[in-house]
Structure 1
Amino acid sequence: MTHVPQRPPFGDDSPTKGSQASDGVRRRTVQAGGLEVPVLEAGSGPLVVCLHGFPDHAASWAGILDRLAQEGYWAVAPAQRGYWPGGAAPDGSYRIASTGQDVLTLIEALGREQADLIGHDFGAAAAYGAATLGPSRVRKLVTMSGPHGRQLMNALVADGDQQRRSWYMFFFQTALAEGAVEFDDFALVDRLWREWSPGYELPDAERAALKETLGAPGVLTEILGYYRQLFTLPADEAAQSLQARAFGAITVPSLYLHGADDNCFSVQLSDGMDDLFTNGLERIVIPGVGHFPHVEQPKAVADHILGFLNS
């Protein structure tokens, strides 16, 4: 996988001027939704937006960006709200409706009417939100390691195995979380990667770049907001209605990938998703892969993605 050195927020580039990263991957900022959003991008052609999760950042998409660019796509990986200094949510929300709207706003800011979306973990949630709130803006949807619907919340109530896997979600609700995550050079983040992807070791340079992102001023508290808002509803009734819509049916052709060895989310959580996908859902379980398929097996994942996007 290509390593893109992290310089929060990806350097000082203006919204109209980019800088070269590595192997054809460029970095710049884009004005969207009241934020200067750092993005990595490669290639030109039909737009594909790649959305990261936690504990991760846009740089982990670099290998996929290169591959998509080689196949004739304009591949863009934005930092999700909260993931850079000055990138705190303008409305204070880290819920799926807000991050989904971010995606739609970015597509418009990039000058396109429509895009393909690829999302992992919380990035998958943002992609689902975009596809439900603005289906005409999404041509095809690819998600991984994060099922759509209420399966996860149901499992957190009734499934002891998933409760054990998701211990960190509950811990992140506490005031101890910031200090615990930062302690000993983000040792907890190292632990999560080891536990969630037991057959994979994140290279040292990429581990250091990720920790640089997480350790940037003010970022960690904002990131924990994604978890601290998981179990609550917005106070505003209109926001509640929008949040409910974001969990609705997906009407665009969709592909879902899940690692067979994912120790964060059980692969069984994606069982029964089909009813929410009215325009077809292809589900692929990848053997020997944990929670980060696009990092662990970028070639195989890119093959699946391109086969679907080009079909």
Structure 2
Amino acid sequence: MPVLAHHRGELEYLVYEGDRPDLPTLVLLHEGLGSAGQWGRLPALISARTGMSTLVYSRHGYGSSAGYGPTGPDYLHSEALTVLPEVLSTLGIERPFLVGHSDGASIAAIYASEYPVAGAVLIAPHVFVEDVTLNGIRQTAESLDTKVRPSLALFHDDPDALFRKWSGVWLSDEFATFDITEQCRRIGAPLLLVQGENDQYGSVAQLDRIVGAAGGDVTRRVLPGHGHHPHLQNADEIGDLITEFIAKLEEKGWAW
């Protein structure tokens, strides 16, 4: 992948060029153990279906990007309010359409509370800390040697450091008070919320919190038979949901 210069270290990224320059750029923000390469078919699929140029990048310490992974309880805010704006500015992207998964969905929500966005799709977002999330992380840690490390090693230069930093933050006492409900109240852009019914890292209570707080139009979809990665289980289904959501905004005359 090409790399993007950044003062914290180079970031790997990839842009899928669209054929609708009149539409905003889709920007995909990966999960807590994700990377640009772990989105599967989704980036190319939604770019082709919507005509929107689509950016994916790996945050610092993820994939082959330089730097460090999560370093403290404010790491999601730092990514949303410092790093992401710098990435977008460097690439000349204004008022993006965000698609975030898990940690990436939280980053998208925080960004959208402070900066103009054309819209956002939040897949398995974390608005506050749930016991189900912490238990899911502990269970993942138990299978680090047998399942998790071999899988992460396919995409990350240093999977052990990444898992240690990420899980360490989430399981820390300092992170227990993480709550972005107030930020969600400041989001005026339309939102599509997606949650797998069998998500081992979060519940529909996260969507309920956003629905009750967000100031703009919110569409909520809970998917039976899906876990934490619905876009990997069925990329076509998630691609359809995103494409239809964007098409409806166009039909309504939403100002891009």
**Offset at 1:245?**
6.5
Q: What is the RMSD of the two structures over their aligned residues, measured on CA atoms?
A: 3.2
Distance (whole Å) between structure 2 residues aligned to residue 82 and residue 245 of structure 1: 29
Q: How many residues align?
A: 239
1:97 maps to which residue? 77
Aligned pairs for 1:89-128 (under 5 A) are 95-101=75-81, 102-128=83-109
Q: Which amino acid aligns with 1:279?
A: G
Of 145, 149, 155, the residue aligned with 1:183 is 145
Aligned pairs for 1:160-239 (under 5 A) are 162=132, 166-169=134-137, 182-184=144-146, 187=147, 189=148, 208=151, 210-214=152-156, 216=158, 218-224=161-167, 226-227=169-170, 231-232=174-175
2:29 maps to which residue? 51
**Offset at 1:144?**
0.8
1:291 maps to which residue? 228
Which secondary structure does the structure 2 equivalent of 1:213 belong to? coil
Q: Which amino acid aligns with 2:53?
A: W
Which secondary structure does the structure 2 equivalent of 1:49 belong to? strand
TM-score by length of 1: 0.66
1:169 to 1:108, Cα distance in 2 relative to 1, 3 A: same
- Percentage identity across aligned positions? 21
**Offset at 1:40?**
2.5
Would you say 1:251 and 2:188 are equivalent positions?
A: yes
TM-score by length of 2: 0.78
Of 116, 121, 124, the residue aligned with 1:145 is 124
User: Which has the greater radius of gyration?
Assistant: 1
Task: List per-residue Cα deviations over 1:237-274 (Å, max 9, x = no partner).
Answer: xxx9xx89656532211110011222221224422422
**Offset at 1:55?**
3.2
| Larger displacement relative to structure 2 (93-102 or 210-219) | 210-219
Distance (whole Å) between structure 2 residues aligned to residue 43 and residue 104 of structure 1: 20
Task: List per-residue Cα deviations over 1:147-204 (Å, max 9, x = no partner).
Answer: 43xxx43x43xxxxx3xx53254689xxxx6xx66524xx2x28xxxxxxxxxxxxxx
The answer as to whether partners of 1:120 and 1:145 remain within 8 angstroms in 2 is yes
